[in-house]
Amino acid sequence: MIIKLLLLAVVVYVIYLFFFRDGGFSKKIDKDDSETMVDCEKCGVYISVKDAIIKDGKYYCSKECAKLS
């Protein structure tokens, strides 16, 4: 009886791990999307999209570059 309960616990644990890993994987994909690298229109420095300044549909690494061009 105790062995059956232990087996059930292990099965539940494995299923839990499977879904947990699956969720973590999806999260990682989303993170990768937000960290797509783009180059600054002015100086050509590579920056992640989330850190970039977008002006007139172009990416800039800093406010200075966005202002100068």
Identify the three-state secondary structure at position 44: coil
Distance CA(40)–CA(64), nearest Å, equals: 11
Q: Shortest Cβ distance from residue 32 to Zn ion (Å)?
A: 23
Q: Per CB under 5 A, which region of 10-18, 27-35, 42-50, 51-59 contacts Zn ion?
A: 42-50
Pick the binder of Zn ion from 52, 59, 65, 66 (CB under 5 A): 65
What is residue 61's DSSP assignment?
S
Backbone angles phi, psi at 42, to 5 degrees: -90, -55
42 belongs to the binding site for Zn ion (CB under 5 A): yes
- Site for Zn ion contains 66 (CB under 5 A): no
Question: What is the C-alpha to C-alpha distance for residues 61 and 64, in angstroms, rounded to an integer?
Answer: 8
* Residue number with CB closer to Zn ion (24 or 44): 44
Catalog residues that contact Zn ion under the rule CB under 5 A.
Answer: 40, 42-43, 45, 61, 65
